Amino acid sequence: MFFVFCIFIIPIVVLVLLLLSTRQKDDTETQPTEINKECAICDKEFPISELTEQEIGDYRRLYAFCGYCIENLYQDHKKKLTIESGE
């Protein structure tokens, strides 16, 4: 009985475990429809279609910015220019 267990049962169990652990995902399993990415300034997650991406720096790192943060930066820059030109 021990011989049958070692020769037949253990390899079959190992084979089934390997097949289950390495199986591919089926199309029926849910896939995310859209990838989310964080804004580089406010760290909130947005769908990648709502973000503006820009390469910055010597290493050409790609940053993503949401419209709200871009608008706030623009308004701050505009205020700074009017203060400097008024002085």
43: phi > 0 → left, psi -120 to 50 → alpha, else beta; which? left
Tens of pLDDT, residue by residue over 62-73, are: 999 999 999 999
Please state, for a pLDDT cut of 70, what percent of the chain lies above it: 85
Cα(45)–Cα(85) distance, integer angstroms: 37
Tens of pLDDT, residue by residue over 55-64, are: 988 888 899 9
Tens of pLDDT, residue by residue over 24-38, are: 766 565 566 778 899
Burial 50-66 (b: 16+ CB within 10 A, else e): ebeeeeeeeeeeebbbb
Closest by CA position to 50, among listed 61, 64, 71, 30: 64
